Amino acid sequence: MQIYKGKSVFGGIAIGKISVYSKAEQQVKRLKIENVEKEVERYHEATATAIQQLQELYDKALREVGEANAAIFEIHQMMLEDDDYAESIENMIQMQKVNAEYAVAQTADNFARMFSSMDDDYMKERAADVKDISERLLTVLQGEESQGVESQEPSIIVADDLAPSETVQLDKDKVLSFVTVHGSLNSHSAILARTMGIPALVGTKLPVDDTVNGKLGIVDGTNGIIYVDPDEVTLGKMKEFQKIELEKKKLLETLKGKENITLDGQKILLYANIGNTKDLATVLQNDAGGIGLFRSEFIYLEREDYPTEEEQFQIYKAVAETMAGKRVIIRTLDIGADKQCDYFKMEKEENPAMGCRAIRICLKRPEIFKTQLRALFRASVYGKIAIMYPMITSVKEIQRIKDIVTQVKAELEEKGVEYREPEQGIMIETPAAVMISDQLAKEVDFFSIGTNDLTQYTLAIDRQNTALDEFYDPHHPAVLRMISMVVNNAHKAGIWAGICGELGADRELTKEFLVMGVDELSVSPGNILPIRKIVRETNVKEYKEYRK
């Protein structure tokens, strides 16, 4: 038996035959060509074919994993048409009189090297994207079939890495799990794996060859381990764990329709985080009490130009109507840092995580902000919409928002457009906001604590830098004290406070959040019922005594 440790992308137990997926080496030779124009035309035709393939992948991903996760294939289409990338290939063909395959391979190496050397983690991830689109181009140019992950029987896929295009083609009925040697927890493939609900590991140092291919494997997604050729004792133990997991899942189904109330009568709201309207089915399926975070930035990220007021209104209206009177908290535009929109034409920043992002962009570009607010106020007529402003650090920012809101209402009234004024709250994501939360609480209707950024800024650690994983501690006493302080200050001012960051789904802390008096936890839909179970089995008063 061999045991390999990796980083868990998605939990659960998978037991089955290992199927090694290895990409065929694409041999590219440098050839001298005579007809330069014909070779450039051959490159253009290959690009058109590759774009068509990516459109088909986008359509498939849209059906299976939603608009936000399908967006990568639109990005890849744009990258294929990028002027710098295309001109580099064309110039190489024309100046060096070489074949298109060689020009594509050289350009891919040059661009990937450039992206990999950048300090920004988001830009580093683009190196993998350049390689992916270039490999697709080479496959078309060489007249080969596009490769995909294939398995004749349910298997554990083991690979050096998986590109987004390969991951989305996984047949969920045939794939029990996937394990990769490379890849990060923030890669497109990892995000897709979570959405698809497949137990998965990345960063797992195991051989990708015949020493594991065809052997029995066990993936323990919860603990980040893969067992290859397990012994009978391990196999029996893991089968038992798998059985327990399935039984737990069935038991959780019985919690649908039940209250989120502790044994001693303390209630808490359990809401869901979503990125687009395609996620609404899983929200309803998992019996969420509302939506605690609708990431409106995906409406912008999935487009090549600014979404109009009407386009946004229709999306917000659809969400409000679908949730049928349940609260829907929509976060206003939160781009910047690792979420970039080319058409915003933002200036390059040395430290984008601390730069012009979220509410700062909205206040510097009020017309964009007002367009979104008009759509939100109009959509509030159709359901219980609440608005949440991200990255607030001062009372002055809230006062500026209120001035803009006043202008928006005046504009709607002047045009005779029906609207309702929704609840308005802010995200607490910085130590500055925590320290003045007593003042901020007097200005808004609610707080939602964004623990991802709060942890990052409190510990001074880039949460996307995998080299610092050993130092990144979301359970750090400073972070937990800050959450408690925010909740206390909210309650003193008579408003409610929730958590919408990843920490809200951390079941090791659910009881701690109940002790703190957190009013709402907003998590991914699949975490609603497991947290409801903990809530309903907890006696907060007894737990407080136990902690002493």
Residue 500 annotated as catalytic: yes
Does pLDDT of 199 surpass 80?
yes
Phi/psi at 96 (5° precision):
-100, -5
Asked if residue 258 has pLDDT above 80, the reply is: yes
Q: Determine contact, residues 102/94, Cβ cutoff 8 Å.
A: no
Question: Is 80 exceeded by the pLDDT of residue 12?
Answer: yes
pLDDT confidence bin for 329, thresholds 50/70/90: very high
The active-site residue, picked from 76, 341, 362, 500, is 500
Q: What is the pLDDT of residue 337?
A: 53
Does 147 have pLDDT greater than 70? no
* Of 406, 419, 427, 432, the residue nearest 332 (C-alpha): 427
Q: Could you say which DSSP state residue 469 is in?
A: T
- Would the CA dihedral through 170, 175, 180, 184 be positive or negative? positive
Phi/psi-derived region of residue 146, left when phi > 0, alpha when psi is between -120 and 50, beta in every other case: beta
Express each pLDDT in 489-518 by its tens digit: 999 999 999 999 889 999 999 999 999 999
Strands (E), 346-495: 385-389, 423-428, 446-449
Structure tokens at 351: 């430290």
Query: Mean pLDDT over all residues of the chain?
Result: 87
How sure is the predictor about 100, in pLDDT bands with cuts at 50, 70 and 90?
A: very high
CB 430 within 8 Å of CB 410: no
Q: Give pLDDT, residue 188.
A: 60
8, 221 Cβ separation under 8 angstroms: yes
Q: Which tokens sit at 45?
A: 């035709």
Average pLDDT over residues 332-356: 69
pLDDT at 525: 85
Concatenating the DSSP letter of every residue in 341-379 gives -GGG-PPP-SSGGGSS-THHHHHHSHHHHHHHHHHHHHH
Q: Which residue's entry shows tokens 């891919």? A: 108
pLDDT tens, residue by residue, 451-497: 988 999 999 988 767 778 888 898 999 999 999 999 999 999 999 99
Instruction: Please give the Cα distance from 328 to 518 (Å, whole number).
Output: 18
Helix pair 366-379, 395-414: axis angle to 10 deg: 60
Q: Residue 189: what pLDDT?
A: 63
C-beta separation of 503 from 486 below 8 A = no
Q: What is the Cα 424 distance to its own chain's centre? A: 24
Per the listing, tokens 């950024």 go with: 453
- Is the pLDDT at 301 greater than 80? The verdict is no
How many CB atoms neighbour CB 217 within 10 A? 26
pLDDT computed for residue 265 by the predictor: 96
Which pLDDT score, from 0 to 100, does residue 516 have? 97
User: Is the separation of the CB atoms in 241 and 517 below 8 Å?
Assistant: no
- Is position 188 annotated as part of the catalytic site? yes
What's phi and psi for 3, nearest 5 deg?
A: -120, 130
**pLDDT score, position 340:** 60
pLDDT at 117 over 60: yes
- Predicted structure pTM score: 0.61
Of the pLDDT bands very low, low, confident and very high (cuts 50, 70, 90), residue 164 is low
CB 167 within 8 A of CB 189: yes
Helix (H, G, I), strand (E, B) or coil at 21: strand
CA 275 to CA 133: how far, in whole Å? 25
Q: What share of the chain is helix, strand, coil (3-state, %, to 5)?
A: 50, 15, 35
Complete edge-to-edge strand list for the sheet that includes strand 175-180: 2-5, 225-228, 216-220, 13-21, 155-159, 175-180, 200-202, 7-10
Q: What value does the mean pLDDT take over residues 141-146? A: 74
Residue 130: pLDDT band with limits 50, 70, 90 = confident
Determine which one of 76, 188, 341, 362 is catalytic: 188
Angstrom CA distances, 108 to 132, 142, 461, stand at 9, 16, 31
Spell out the residues 6+ positions from residue 228 whose beta carbon is closer than 8 angstroms to its own.
1, 2, 3, 4, 18, 206, 212, 215, 216, 217
198: number of Cβ within 10 Å: 22
pLDDT of residue 491: 98
From 7-21, 81-95, 119-133, 400-414, the region with the lowest mean pLDDT: 119-133
What pLDDT was estimated at residue 151? 58
Which residue in this structure is represented by tokens 């994501």?
429
Give me the pLDDT at residue 422, please.
Answer: 96
**One-letter identity of residue 40:** V
Element (H, E) at 71: helix 67-80
Q: How far is CA 427 from the centre of its chain?
A: 18
Is the model's pLDDT at 240 over the cut of 90?
Answer: yes
In whole angstroms, give the CA distance from residue 468 to residue 3: 24
Residues near 26 by beta carbon (within 8 Å), at least 6 away in sequence: 105, 135, 138, 139, 142
Exposed, middle or buried by CB within 10 Å (0-12, 13-18, 19+), for 319? buried
Cα–Cα dist 50/527, whole Å: 38
Structure tokens at 73: 């294939």
pLDDT at residue 341 above 70?
A: no
